[in-house]
Amino acid sequence: MRNIFGLSIVLSVLFFAACGDPVPLGEMSSAKMMISKAQTARAEKYAPDEYNEAAALLLESHSLVKEEKYDDAGKKALASKEKAQAAYDKAAPLMAKDSIDVAEQSIKSADEVFASELAKDEYESAVNKQKQAQADFESKQYESAYKNAVEADGLAKNARNTAISGKGMIEDSINEVKATLAEAKKYNAEKLAPEKYNSAVESLTNAQKSYDSLALKEAFAYLDEAKASADEAYQIALKETALDKIEQSKQSIADAESSRGAKEASADLQASKELSETAEMQYNEGNYLDSIDSANESLRLSGLVSQAGSSADKYSNDSSSKDSVSDNGDSSDSEASGDYDIYKVKYNKTPPKDCLWIISKKFYNNGRKWKKIFNANKDIIKNPDYIFPGWKLKIPKESK
């Protein structure tokens, strides 16, 4: 650049100095402009031999003018222009091709961070500019190709930065898959769906690694795999668990029906049966989570029925062996013993049946104090809703 700037000054000086002499100013000016054009194509880098020769020839032209060898000076100027043209012709396609390659790499880098989704507008603009640059190059419009490639490169770099700043979306997706796997594990997916569960764990691990290294597109691909496998593992585990719970509820109902509790807690037994049927219907409809909930409730109720039967049998036998006096004609409802009154639960053919509330109201004139009786008899009463005729309950005396 300094050489060309110097040449422009020399040309000006010669113009005024020659003052009418046949100096080949036109040829020299044309050579200078062509050298400047070669510079715009970075001919110093891509066509250094031709460029340097063009600059040297123009300097020789100036020297010949000083020697008043105008014809030779003109020839040197024309030769300089030709070399500068050759430098431009060689450099322009090389510069355009390099620019296209740089833009291509920038687009690839943007793609790796999933800019196609996270910075969609900028990314698509970069791709379109790059396509135009390539088309210009193929039609030998190298200056236009260079310009479009430079724009494509800038857009791609901006798209990459935008995508990186919005990567929290991927982190949210990673956390969602983790939550699904945690739920699947609760329903024993590791054993019930080991292939899908392990595949999800592996894909999620790879997604996390890709995310950490900013390979966001790769992270998304792994996340898609992890999500699909995790969802399948969860559904398989739910389905198998629901089926197992339904079978358990049916067996529990059968056990409850054969127990004494079937009579003592018939309402709970009926509710258990209905819930088991509901669980089976929900299972057939694919509502596995609801099916599990219904089956669990059925199990709880049938368990209470069986428990009521076991407790009634146990303490009825205990009453027969320990309470012969009362069973042989003692018609009193309660006895006194130290800090407690002793109350024998009665059997009433018609409602209301004896319950902790009624007993509490009888002894304390307040049904809400039933917990005092329950707490004093936890060795007998397992469920405060179920007490049975023949049981002897300790009734704590109220302090005076």
Q: What is the mean pLDDT of residues 366-373?
A: 90
Task: List the structure tokens of 74.
Answer: 């003109």
Choose between 336 and 169: higher pLDDT. Answer: 169
Sheet with 340-344, edge to edge strand ranges: 334-337, 340-344, 392-396
Q: Are residues 268 and 195 in the same domain?
A: yes
Residue pLDDT, tens place only, 208-247: 999 999 899 899 899 999 999 999 999 999 999 999 999 9
pLDDT of residue 309: 66
Residue pLDDT, tens place only, 260-293: 878 877 888 888 899 999 999 999 999 999 999 9
Choosing from 134, 166, 198, the residue where a domain stops is 166
Residue pLDDT, tens place only, 115-125: 998 999 999 99
- The domain spanning residue 350 has which CATH number? 3.10.350
What are the b/e assignments for 176-204, b being 16+ CB within 10 Å? Answer: ebbebbebbeebebeebbeebbebbbebb
Query: pTM of the full predicted structure?
Result: 0.59
Choosing from 125, 147, 166, the residue where a domain stops is 166
| Domain limits for position 364 | 330-396
Q: Are residues 146 and 22 in the same domain?
A: yes
Q: Are residues 360 and 316 in the same domain?
A: no
Choosing from 148, 166, 184, the residue where a domain stops is 166
Q: Are residues 287 and 339 in the same domain?
A: no
From the number of C-beta atoms within 10 Å of its C-beta (0-12, 13-18, 19+), residue 36 rates as middle
Q: Are residues 159 and 230 in the same domain?
A: no
Q: Are residues 34 and 144 in the same domain?
A: yes
Choose between 81 and 367: higher pLDDT. Answer: 81
Residue pLDDT, tens place only, 318-365: 544 444 434 433 434 545 556 888 898 886 666 677 888 889 988 999
Q: Are residues 135 and 200 in the same domain?
A: no
Q: Are residues 299 and 343 in the same domain?
A: no
Q: How many domains does the chain have?
A: 3
Q: Are residues 134 and 210 in the same domain?
A: no
Q: Are residues 177 and 279 in the same domain?
A: yes
pLDDT of residue 317: 53
CA angle 394, 396, 399 (to 5 degrees): 165
Distance CA 39, CA 45 (A): 9
Q: Are residues 230 and 162 in the same domain?
A: no
Q: Are residues 95 and 14 in the same domain?
A: yes
